[in-house]
Amino acid sequence: MAEADERTVGETATKPGFLGLSDVSISEDIPVEGEITVPMASHSQDEDYSTLDEPVKETIIRDLKAVGKKFVHVMYPKKSNALLRDWDLWGPLVLCVSLALMLQGGSADSKEDGGPQFAEVFVIIWFGAVVITLNSKLLGGTISFFQSLCVLGYCVLPLTVAMLVCRLVLLAGMGPINFLIRLIVVIAMFVWSTLASTAFLADSQPPNRKALAVYPIFLFYFVISWMILTFTPH
Binding pattern for the stretch 96-135 against other proteins, x by CB under 8 A and - elsewhere: ---------------xxxxxxx-xx---x------x--xx
In angstroms, the CA 196 to CA 158 distance is: 9
Q: Closer to other proteins at the Cβ: 27 or 110? A: 110
Q: Which of 137, 178, 191, 195 binds other proteins (CB under 8 A)?
A: 137
Quote the least distance from Cβ 59 to other proteins, whole Å.
Answer: 31
Q: Is residue 11 classed as helix, strand or coil in its secondary structure?
A: helix
Q: Is 138 in the site for other proteins (CB under 8 A)?
A: yes
Give residue 96's Cα distance to chain centre. Answer: 16
- Name the minimum Å distance from CB 42 to other proteins: 36
As measured in angstroms, the least distance from the Cβ of 75 to other proteins is 26
Closest by CA position to 51, among listed 39, 64, 63, 38:
63
Q: Whole-angstrom Cα distance, residue 159 to residue 99?
A: 8
Q: Could you tell me which of 200, 129, 121 has the C-alpha nearest to residue 192?
A: 200
147, with CB counted inside 10 A (0-12, 13-18, 19+), is buried
Q: Which positions from 189 through 228 interact with other proteins, judged by CB under 8 A?
A: 208-209, 211-212, 215-216, 219, 222-223, 226-227
Please name which of 93, 94, 108, 116 lies closest in space to residue 228, comparing C-alpha atoms: 116
3-state secondary structure of 214: helix
Minimum CB distance to other proteins smaller for 92 or for 115: 115
Only one of the segments 24-32, 54-62, 137-145, 182-190 lies at the binding site for other proteins (rule: CB under 8 A); that segment is 137-145
Residue 211 CB, nearest distance to other proteins (Å)?
4
Residues near 47 by beta carbon (within 8 Å), at least 6 away in sequence? none
DSSP state of 6: H
Residues 55-94 that bind other proteins (CB under 8 A): none
Q: Does 164 help bind other proteins (rule: CB under 8 A)?
A: no
Element (H, E) at 39: helix 37-46
CB of 223 to other proteins, least distance (A): 5
Minimum distance from CB of 116 to other proteins (Å)? Answer: 4
Q: Which residues of the chain form contacts with other proteins (CB under 8 A)? A: 111-117, 119-120, 124, 131, 134-135, 137-140, 208-209, 211-212, 215-216, 219, 222-223, 226-227, 230, 232
